[in-house]
Amino acid sequence: MCTIFGTSNRSFGERRIAAALAKTTMRGPDSMRIEPCGGGWLGFQRLAIMGLNEEGMQPFRHHGSMVVCNGEIYGFRPLKEELTEKGYTFRSDSDCEILLPLYEQYGTDMFAMLDAEFACILYDARTDSLIAARDPIGIRPMFYGYDKEGYIYFASEARNLIGIAEKVIPFPPGYYYHNGQFVCYRDMSDVRSYSSDTLETICTNIHDLLIEGVGKRLDSDAKIGYLLSGGLDSSLVCAIAQSRSIVPIETFAIGMSEDAIDLKYAREVAEYIGSHHHEILITEKDVLDSLEEVVAALGTYDITTIRASIGMYLICRAIHQTSDIRVLLTGEISDEMFGYKYTDFAPDALAFQKEAEKRIREIYMYDVLRADRCIASHSMEARVPFGDLKFVDYVMHIDPQYKLNTYGKGKYLLRHAFVKDHLLPYSILMREKAAFSDAVGHSMADSIKEYAESYYTDEQFEMLSGKYDHARPYTKESLLYRELFEKYYPGQSEMVKDFWLPNQEWEGCHVSDPSARYLSNYGESGV
């Protein structure tokens, strides 16, 4: 990961930009550079992943234009060869150096061409203007805001802009900013037709596209590791990666010391695929001691996101402290497309599809935010194969009749797609879905709820929660998170749309706790 910063306000000054970037040094611990551009500034903190020498340091320059980018551009080498044939020369091995020549060739049409996880800020010297863009899923973070004088600011994290912009706003995924306007160049949730592929063709394409998505994310000049929960999604990512490696990959799992669910399954997967496996055990004290640190890093008050982040945050901290790994592959963005436990209650195929579109549209505020902050907070880069644009585009256009759980097993298409490979034990391939925050150990969420119940009296809860008009806390646990959020991000609650909950309009989903274990179909997920 890296941090990027940009503003149209030249009078803001290098010292104040450095102070803003100091809040996210962990995203880019290797080096920092702040440079004037036209009427404004660009700033960059580097975590070296591709092109590890000094030539890979940003901002990159070309004919007076400049760019800073937090991202990975997959398949950049053929593009680089193309541009070289057109007369461009490159100083580094960095994938992001191709952005300015691409922009010179194609202008803002470039963004729709990129197969990438990225957020970038570009200064166009020809028009003396700032341009910013973010990938269509929102895997890489970016926020923006305006000061009292109307100058715009962009930065990787909200905390870079606290105290600068009056209101901090997430930069919309799939958009670029140009000439004061935000323009949508790709909306992954806008599905207007379905493919006519048969079930077996669908599963073959899912199989091939996921393998391709994992494969392209193995290109790194820095060392790669893998988060392995023992669930379907992370296990597939690890199994595919191991099948392409001649040496054991490094896999990591975490669980509560007293009642971890995931650890035994992760161990089974690791033994089967032959990875070099590591287990991290945490205690109730570790969980409670990390709460404020986690909320400060995340910039959210959402219960589901925070619960799921604690284990991820702590495992990433351990990886950072005990290894030289700089890239982590994760299994996020599968449930949003193939279904959660609660989508078993979808009343029909259209309802399932609309829910999937909603989840993909909003994922940058929830699971994608979690993956980025937990990993970047410990100076590593997240790569998300299920977020591969070709993969997401294909899966979102599958006829939702095939995605409904009429098979007696959720996410059947994804499971069936990999039966023939024997990349995983059949028992893992068919393992019931368990929410990560629960599978780390049921005691984790229970301990937090008990702590919150003891921290506030009923009277305090009513009084304090009543202060909030937007996303009002509805449990003592949610109040605890909201109070911590306001400490670091005062008055910025609208950065997150609302609480992540199962669709409350569906029968069977009327739950006050977002955990899947409160659904009637949770079944064997928690064993």
Quick one: tokens of 226? 């893998």
Residue from 320, 459, 388 nearest 137 by CA: 388
Question: Strand pairing of 250-256 and 224-227?
Answer: parallel
CB 349: neighbour CB atoms within 10 A? 16
CA triplet 118, 122, 125: central angle to 5 degrees?
160
CA atoms of 248 and 226, how far apart (whole Å) = 11
Quick one: tokens of 466? 């009543």
**Catalytic residue, candidates 37, 47, 227, 389:** 47
Report the first-to-last Cα separation within the chain, whole angstroms. Answer: 35
Q: What phi and psi values does residue 338 have, to the nearest 5 degrees? A: -95, -15
> How many helices (H) does the chain have, and how many strands (E)?
19, 17
**Catalytic residue, candidates 2, 209, 232, 314:** 2
CA atoms of 418 and 297, how far apart (whole Å) = 36
Q: Please confirm, yes or no, whether 39 is among the known catalytic residues.
A: no
CA atoms of 54 and 33, how far apart (whole Å) = 12
| 527, 518 Cβ separation under 8 angstroms | no
Which residues, 6+ apart, have CB-to-CB distance to 380 below 8 Å?
A: 1, 47, 225, 316, 319, 320, 325, 326, 327, 328
Quick one: tokens of 152? 């715009």
CA triplet 514, 517, 521: central angle to 5 degrees?
110
Alpha-carbon distances, residue 467 vs 300, 341, 352, 460 (angstroms): 17, 34, 35, 11
**Catalytic residue, candidates 46, 140, 159, 307:** 307
**Catalytic residue, candidates 43, 71, 213, 410:** 71
Q: What does the chain come to in residues?
A: 527
CA atoms of 274 and 249, how far apart (whole Å) = 8
Residue from 85, 87, 113, 86 nearest 99 by CA: 113
Question: Which stretches within 178-261 are classed as H helix?
Answer: 199-216, 232-243
CA atoms of 226 and 328, how far apart (whole Å) = 5
| 428, 443 Cβ separation under 8 angstroms | no
Angle between helices 232-243 and 262-273 (to 10 degrees): 20
**Catalytic residue, candidates 9, 70, 300, 330:** 70
**Catalytic residue, candidates 300, 304, 330, 405:** 304
Q: Please confirm, yes or no, whether 304 is among the known catalytic residues.
A: yes
| 339, 405 Cβ separation under 8 angstroms | yes
Q: Please confirm, yes or no, whether 47 is among the known catalytic residues.
A: yes
Q: Please confirm, yes or no, whether 316 is among the known catalytic residues.
A: no
Give the three-state DSSP class for 173.
coil
Instruction: State the greatest distance between any 2 C-alpha atoms of the chain, in Å, as a whole number.
Output: 71
Instruction: Give how far the C-alpha of residue 81 lies from the chain's centroid of Cα atoms, to the nearest Å.
Output: 30
CA atoms of 241 and 227, how far apart (whole Å) = 12
| 482, 473 Cβ separation under 8 angstroms | yes
Active-site residue numbers? 2, 47, 70-71, 304, 307
